[in-house]
Chains A and B, each alone.
Chain A
């Protein structure tokens, strides 16, 4: 049982942000219908990595991850007949999520004021790099550009190097979940107001909202925060251990002696290291003792020992470590998904565990146009002949 059962969502556009928003709503039980262009479908179908490194529109790993639990129809929404079909779908839907460009939104008129006659209860969510207004609204963008112009990228990486991004399109994931938050807030409000509204999401504004330290640093003190300092004691930073990297932390409620004892070298027990100001003054000395101590630890034993001592160390894990993590497995994070082309695999599931929401079921990402027949014939009442006409004319 999902908490959004009975809610129908149309997803327009493609790539990462709108599909991730759609995926989250589908995880909560909404019926999410991807509307894909008949020419190739969602652009992320053509983005790798691909299963077994075999480039194929049904084997894109980003697509397979981002589109579980959805249905797919193909429709040329820019054609007149396609638009008529879209309008009839919008009459019976609750939410439209789209990440088309500002120009496309204007051409199609997928805006609240233009759609009131079609369905006044419809919630229309747009995700654009910079928002629908402002001097940057027509700027060209990719993940790295929004990451930079949000302010977040300046703060990622090392202070003596250039800013650094994460390659997993994080700006689009963060804007996708923010879109889901605002969309469901509008859905909740509709229960009492009876009417829909527009939800406008700006990717850079979503990421800028992470900067709850750098912004007040400047606003309160005129100080500019930067990237990870390369100097200092090494605590709360990535440090080398025997089989990879760990994050030793001074956080937690334990005295210094517990931390020093865990790391190892007896010289670390010196009381002069036990205070914040001592760790500033003797930073380099601590760092070399830390490196010495950590060199005899593997990541996971150190991490688990720290947890048992009520310390909060971290460790750098890779995708394989996460996939094989018995803690995640124990919590039921992974879900078996069987896909007609790529077969059965264990997928990462929902982030939170929610008592009222079943997270144990997952339908594989849809094949391109997989649900054309059931949507057009069963839901919209088109005949087989109509479908042939629409197909031949390139509408579906």
Chain B
């Protein structure tokens, strides 16, 4: 097809951190013009510019706010307009931009949005067919609606920890369901929110084309998270079961788990779904304790004696590399995979063969060079969807948006300058101090480094 799916769609993205900025990045990948509303005041800037890093070689330079790897992942392909919303000129400019845009992304609390007059009822009066996503921890209604949130604390709140946790073992090595919740981590809920917002936007655009009407998406990350735990909630509704912490085991078949391999912090998972796979597995492992035990041919007995089976399997895996175990088992059609880390992902043959990681070349002044980034989980056969350009430098799009897009008179632009509502250099910040990688290993923040 000649133009990308979102060609001609303009997005104003005033959001911060992970969930909505990533949504905006995907919209840019799909061909939309995405304008990130930045600020040059460090106390209000998107903290992924300043706090999250990682900076190239762990060395933040004078332009550090342009060089964070996570910031670069989340804001690729966008333009940047700096606006200080505390000034009337800044706030008015934002409203003018919303007026000529199709989509508005934000993740402030309802209180802040009302204070700025940027809540949906207000914006709808200046742009009736606007599609707006309000991403919050707990939504715009309900008793918790004014609570802020961060995904790392929100994730257990919406229930993931009820369905993950290590098994408990007694002194004889017999396991039982665990009592301690655990986390998927990596800001899991942020991504559920990002995917949810993207879906609501696509259907909103489709609906707007047919009906001419805009949409407001009241996206409470807590509620989105609970919908991903729906099976578990429904199990409680019918059966009263509150949690299921069974380590890496399966509810019905065995063996099923995560086993230690030879190298440091190296593991494989495997799943034996039926007697046929069990037979093949026994042949590969070749351990007489498995082969000569007819009881294990019965899936119910295998399930019952998993503690014993796990020890035998660990004996076998722990003297092999994860890659060897995976090759042996997958070679004969037994589900198995190694738990790869980021270094291994970046050299993994499947990701490489499919070109999953996309490379961006950063401008010479940025001192970033060429870097690879996570792309998308899907492809469209009629489009060549790619990341278009690196994340914008602070205020990179000021002239374009103010003079070209909004065609503001010079007096208005002068007013913005006089109000110091726009700017290209981060004010009131110092180069962040970073912790040396060896120290980060000691602290347990990273496992290792090259």
Contact = CB atoms under 8 A, between A and B. Distances in A.
Given A178-B378, A205-B354, A326 B336 contact: no
Contact of B185 (A228, A322, A355): A228
Interface in B280-305: none
A221 B368 CA distance: 11
A33 B271 CA distance: 31
A304 B138 CA distance: 12
A251 B182 contact: no
Interface string B192-219: 1001111110111111010101111111
Contacts, number: 550
Contacts of A197: 1, 380-383
A277 B202 CA distance: 44
B232 A319 contact: yes
A153 interface: yes
B354 A134 contact: yes
A236 B152 contact: yes
A351 B180 contact: no
B265 A226 contact: yes
A349 to B, nearest CB: 7
Contacts of A145: 269-271, 335-337
Interface string A334-354: 000000001001111111111
Given A61-B234, A65-B231, A319 B153 contact: no
Given A236-B152, A319-B242, A65 B186 contact: no
Interface string B1-20: 10001100000000000100
Contacts of B52: 213
Nearest to B335: A140
Interface stretch (A73-81, A159-167, A380-388): A159-167
Interface string B56-76: 111000000000111011100
Interface stretch (B88-96, B244-252, B399-407, B411-419): B244-252
B149 interface: yes
Given A135-B349, A201-B377, A220 B371 contact: yes
Contacts of A318: 159, 161-162, 236, 242-243
Contacts of A211: 186, 342, 345, 374
B143 A327 contact: yes
Contacts of B184: 152, 156, 166, 170
Contact of A199 (B268, B273, B378): B378
Nearest to B371: A219
Contact of A320 (B152, B242, B354, B376): B242
Given A146-B337, A220-B69, A354-B216, A247 B346 contact: no
Nearest to A29: B203
Interface in A178-212: 178-182, 184-189, 191, 193, 195, 197-212
B316 interface: no
Contacts of B6: 185, 188
A85 interface: no
B195 A178 contact: yes
A353 B195 contact: no
Contacts of B181: 238, 245, 316
B157 interface: yes
B244 A355 contact: no
A265 interface: no
Contact of B202 (A187, A195, A225): A187
A271 interface: no
Contact of B150 (A168, A188, A251, A355): A251
A3 B223 CA distance: 20
Interface in A327-377: 327-328, 330-331, 333, 342, 345-357
B345 A208 contact: yes
B400 to A, nearest CB: 26
Contacts of B373: 215-216, 219
A149 B232 CA distance: 25
A209 B353 contact: no
Nearest to A346: B237
Given A145-B269, A312-B150, A215 B345 contact: yes
Contacts of A210: 186-188, 191, 374
Contact of A209 (B185, B215, B375): B375
B143 A49 contact: no
A203 B372 CA distance: 20
A215 B330 CA distance: 26
Interface stretch (B34-42, B78-86, B420-428, B439-447): B439-447
B437 A223 contact: yes
Interface of chain B, main secondary structure:
mixed
A54 to B, nearest CB: 10
Nearest to B341: A154
Nearest to B237: A345
Given A319-B236, A354-B215, A149 B340 contact: yes
A151 B227 contact: no
Contact of A166 (B153, B164, B271): B164
Contacts of B386: none
B128 to A, nearest CB: 12
Contacts of B147: 307-308, 312
Nearest to A46: B252
A232 interface: yes
Contact of B233 (A217, A314, A319): A319
B260 interface: yes
Q: Which of A112, A167, A319 has the most CB of B within 10 A?
A: A319
A52 interface: yes
Contacts of A62: 231
B342 A215 contact: yes
B218 A353 contact: yes
A146 B218 CA distance: 31
A367 to B, nearest CB: 17
Contact of B330 (A139, A202, A216, A227): A139
B209 A112 contact: no
A202 B237 contact: no
A354 B246 CA distance: 36
A153 B161 contact: no
B380 A185 contact: yes
A310 interface: yes
Residue among B180, B195, B213, B450 with max Cβ neighbours from chain A (10 Å): B195
B366 interface: no
B167 to A, nearest CB: 10
A142 B271 contact: yes
Contacts of A164: 164-166, 182, 247-248, 258
Contacts of B340: 148-149, 151, 154
A133 B353 contact: yes
B156 interface: yes
Interface string A49-74: 10111000000011011100000000
Interface string A124-161: 00000011011110011110111111011111111101
17 contacts: A51-B239, A62-B231, A139-B330, A148-B340, A164-B165, A167-B163, A168-B228, A181-B378, A209-B376, A215-B373, A220-B54, A220-B58, A223-B440, A245-B181, A251-B152, A322-B159, A322-B229
The 4 closest A-B pairs by CB, nearest first: A216-B69, A314-B153, A206-B377, A229-B444
Given A312-B137, A351-B192, 13 more contacts: A65-B230, A210-B188, A213-B187, A214-B342, A223-B440, A238-B161, A245-B181, A307-B148, A317-B158, A319-B235, A327-B222, A330-B142, A333-B226
